[in-house]
Amino acid sequence: MYILGGTSAKTIAGNLANALQEPLLQVIYKRFPDDEFYVRVMDQIEGEDVILVQTAYPDPKIVELLIMQDAVHDAGAKKITVVLPYFGYSRQDKKFEEGEAVSARAIAQHVSLHADAIITVDPHKEYILKFFTVPTYCCSAVLSLARYLKEKNIDFVLAPDKGAKDRAKEAASLINCDYDYLEKTRIDGTTVRITPKSLNASGKHVAIIDDIISTGGTMANSIRELKKQGAKTVSVACTHGLFVGNALERLRKACDGVVCANTLENEVSTISVASEVAKAL
């Protein structure tokens, strides 16, 4: 078995190789002068199992993934398992308006072409796994995040919307504290409205937990609500830290701590999901 770490998931691939005690596949990748991607597999992989790890975000990383899959398939790999630590486009999981694409399905179908199995981490909604046409499994960073938050003496967990309620419940159960959720209405890509709600968060060390932080708008509004209601400290945690624009800087100023898993690599992605992925494998 070989582990192939794509350019967007080198840390997880390295961690995974260590956890499974399997070698990293030797590959050459580069970009041509016109920025097109090139990959060449250097090891002999005919008849071998290959685990290809690549976060499917942003768009160029999806193209890299498809090209790496082609190389590994053509080199005769017996079984290709694609690990998508973050599955980009997963939030466009249905037609919200007539005429729209179901983008998550479009990406899933293409990734399925040269894959025998797929593993992803904390998909935005679990039903999107059905968009892949090969067996697809998921694992979660929530318990790893919760263990970290427990050490930070968090004693209340908040979900910023109903969709994140189960994550908050799971984290709170490990920490052994209360949880609640907010009602969020998305106005557009950058604007959300939080319905005021009385939370039992006064004097508490609160962690807000979500699957994705993108613009940071959801978290910023939730932090404001918690501070209004007298929370002592507020930290934010998520699996996939996209941190568009200056979102990370804004959130760091607005709260007491920001942490995320390493499905996307950035300066606060300190929680490794490698052991969860290794278990799923």
Active site amino acids: 184
Q: For residues 101-140, which are near ligand R5P according to CB under 6 A?
A: none
**What's the closest the beta carbon of residue 187 comes to ligand R5P, in angstroms?**
11
> Of 27-35, 67-75, 103-111, 208-216, which segment contacts ligand R5P by CB under 6 A?
208-216
* 17-25: Cβ within 8 A, 24+ apart: 18/274, 19/274, 19/275, 19/278, 20/278, 20/281, 22/51, 25/50
> Of 133-141, 160-168, 170-178, 262-270, which segment contacts ligand R5P by CB under 6 A?
160-168
> Of 21-29, 33-41, 49-57, 205-213, which segment contacts ligand R5P by CB under 6 A?
205-213
**What's the closest the beta carbon of residue 260 comes to ligand R5P, in angstroms?**
12
**What's the closest the beta carbon of residue 181 comes to ligand R5P, in angstroms?**
11
Q: Is 165 exposed, middle or buried (0-12, 13-18, 19+ CB in 10 A)?
A: middle
**What's the closest the beta carbon of residue 59 comes to ligand R5P, in angstroms?**
18
Pick the binder of ligand R5P from 129, 172, 213, 236 (CB under 6 A): 213
Is residue 217 within the footprint of ligand R5P (CB under 6 A)?
Answer: yes
Instruction: Quote the radius of gyration of the chain (alpha carbons, Å).
Output: 20
> Of 3-11, 63-71, 148-156, 215-223, which segment contacts ligand R5P by CB under 6 A?
215-223
**What's the closest the beta carbon of residue 220 comes to ligand R5P, in angstroms?**
8
Q: For residues 232-271, which are near ligand R5P according to CB under 6 A?
A: none
Residues 6+ apart with CB under 8 A from 166: none
Q: For residues 42-81, which are near ligand R5P according to CB under 6 A?
A: none
Is residue 93 within the footprint of ligand R5P (CB under 6 A)?
Answer: no
Burial track 216-249 (b if 16+ CB lie within 10 A, e otherwise): bbbbbbbbebbbebebebbbbbbbbbbbeeebbe
- Within 10 angstroms of residue 75's Cβ, the number of other Cβ atoms is 17
* 123-131: Cβ within 8 A, 24+ apart: 123/87, 123/90, 124/87, 124/90, 124/91, 124/93, 124/163, 124/211, 124/212, 125/90, 125/93, 125/163, 127/93, 128/87, 128/90, 128/93, 128/104, 131/93, 131/102, 131/104, 131/105
Residue position matching structure tokens 């934010």 = 236
Pick the binder of ligand R5P from 8, 69, 144, 218 (CB under 6 A): 218
Pick the binder of ligand R5P from 64, 122, 170, 211 (CB under 6 A): 211
Is residue 170 within the footprint of ligand R5P (CB under 6 A)?
Answer: no
**What's the closest the beta carbon of residue 30 comes to ligand R5P, in angstroms?**
33
Backbone angles phi, psi at 262, to 5 degrees: -95, 30
Pick the binder of ligand R5P from 43, 102, 163, 280 (CB under 6 A): 163
- How big is the site for ligand R5P, counted in residues (CB under 6 A)? 14
87 close to 128: Cβ distance less than 8 angstroms: yes
Task: Tell me which residues touch ligand R5P (CB under 6 A).
Answer: 160-161, 163-164, 192, 210-218
